[in-house]
Structure 1
Amino acid sequence: MKEVWGLKNWVSWNTTSAIMLIWLLFFKQDSIWATWYLTEVLDGDINNFWVINTKQKNSWLANYLLLQCGTVFDWIKQVVGNGKTCYFWSSKWSPFGNISKNLRGESSHTTGIPATTTLAEIWESGN
C-alpha cells in the first residue's frame, strides 16, 4: 500500500477518527458537535445511536458513525437509572451485553416485548 503523508492505512485512520467522535458523543455531550449530532441525527436521544438507521438526509460521516455502533458496542455501558431511557433489547444495560444477542432465538415477536420497550415500561407492567 502506498504511503501518503506518512499514513500507511487510511481505512484504519478513518475508523479510529470515527470512534473518537463517538467517544465525544457519549462522554463530552457538552461539545457543539455532540449537541448537534444528538439533536439532528439521533433525534435528541443518545440511546437512538444503537437502533437508528442511516438516513439519506444525513452526511456521509453522520451515517458512517451510525454504522460503527457494532464496533463500539462492547466498549460503552449504560447506567440504567430509572430505566426510562434504557431499551430492553438494544441498550447495553445488562452485564451480559445486548439482550437480543444473548437470548438467541428469542425476539420481540416471541416474547411479546416490543423492540422499543424500556426497562421502566417492563417494570411497570409487572414483567
Structure 2
Amino acid sequence: MSRSDYEPLVKKKRARFLSWTRKALAFAGRLQLINSVIASLTNFWCSAFILPQGCIDEIESLCSAFLWSGSPNISSKAKVAWVEVCKPKEESGLGVRIIQDISIVFDLKLIWWLFNNLDSLWVMWVKNTILRGESFWDVRAGAVRSWIWKKLLELRPLAQQFLHMEVHSGKSVGFWTDLWHPMGRLIEVIGERGTHKLGIMRNARIADVLVDHQWSFRNTRDRTIEPIIV
C-alpha cells in the first residue's frame, strides 16, 4: 500500500481533528474523542486493509498533537511520550490503544481465516497464488513479493500461540506441518528426520496416516519420536 492509498484515511482524521479544534475542547474531551471516534475509524480501516507503518505513524502523530495542543497541526506541546499515553490506566497511562496492536489483531484474524474458511474463494486464491502448495508455516518470506504477505509471515511465531487445528476427518490437516498436536508442529518437534523414521511423507495429511482410527506408520524405538505416537 502506497502513501496515496492510505492518504484518504489520514485526511479524514485530520479533518475530524480540525473540526473539533474550533470547539476548544478540554483535555478530557479530546481524549474521549480519540478513544471513541478516531479509534472506531481506525478499526474499520484495519479490518479492511493492512496499514503500513508509515500510515500508523502519521495517525499517531495527529492524535498526539490534537491531544496535547488541541490542534493536529501543532506537534510541539507533547508532555508525555505517546508510548506512555497508550499504557493502561493501571500503569499510569491514559488507556489509548496502540494502533500497531489493533493492526496486528486484524492481521492475526486473516491468518485464522486462512485455516478456518477453507472453502472461501479468498483462501483458495491464497493457496494457489501465494502459497503455491506450500504450508503457510513453511513458505519463505523471500519467495513472496507482496509486502502484505511478508508482514503476515512475520507474525507466524505469534499466530502459533493462538492457533490449534481440529482434526475431524484429517483430510485438510497436515500431519507434519499443521498445528494439531499438543506438542506443536511435528516437523519442528522432531525435525525432517522424522519423515524417514516413520515412513510418512512430509506433505501427508492426517487422514493418510489413520487407518480405522489407528495410526499406520513404520515401527520405531526412537525415544525422540515416542512422545508423539503414544
Alignment match of 2:108 (pick from 22, 25, 42): 22
RMSD between superposed Cα atoms in Å? 3.7
Q: Which amino acid aligns with 2:216?
A: G
Alignment match of 1:103 (pick from 178, 190, 201): 190
Q: Is the 8 A contact 1:41 1:62 kept in 2?
A: no
Tell me which moved more, 90-99 or 18-27. 18-27
Could you list the per-position Cα deviations for residues 55-79 of structure 1 after superposition, in whole angstroms to 9, with x for gaps in the alignment?
6564201222123212211211101
Counterpart in 2 of 1:78?
165
| Structure of higher CA gyration radius | 2
Q: Which runs of 4+ in 1 moved over 6 A?
A: none
Q: Is the 8 A contact 2:169 2:207 kept in 1?
A: yes
TM-score (norm 2): 0.40
Q: Is the 8 A contact 2:171 2:206 kept in 1?
A: yes
Q: How many residues align?
A: 119
Counterpart in 2 of 1:119?
206
SS in 2 for 1:17: helix
Alignment pair present for 1:89 and 2:176: yes
TM-score (norm 1): 0.66
Shift in alpha-carbon separation, 1:126–1:50, aligned structure 2, 3 A: same
Could you list the per-position Cα deviations for residues 80-118 of structure 1 after superposition, in whole angstroms to 9, with x for gaps in the alignment?
010011111111111222222333684324433221111
Give distance in 1, aligned partners of 2:102 and 2:202. 30
Q: Which amino acid aligns with 1:4?
A: S
The structure with the largest helix share of the pair is 2
Q: Is the 8 A contact 1:42 1:52 kept in 2?
A: no
Give distance in 1, aligned partners of 2:185 and 2:144. 28
Counterpart in 2 of 1:4?
61
Alignment match of 1:43 (pick from 86, 106, 128): 128
Give distance in 2, aligned partners of 1:115 and 1:15. 35
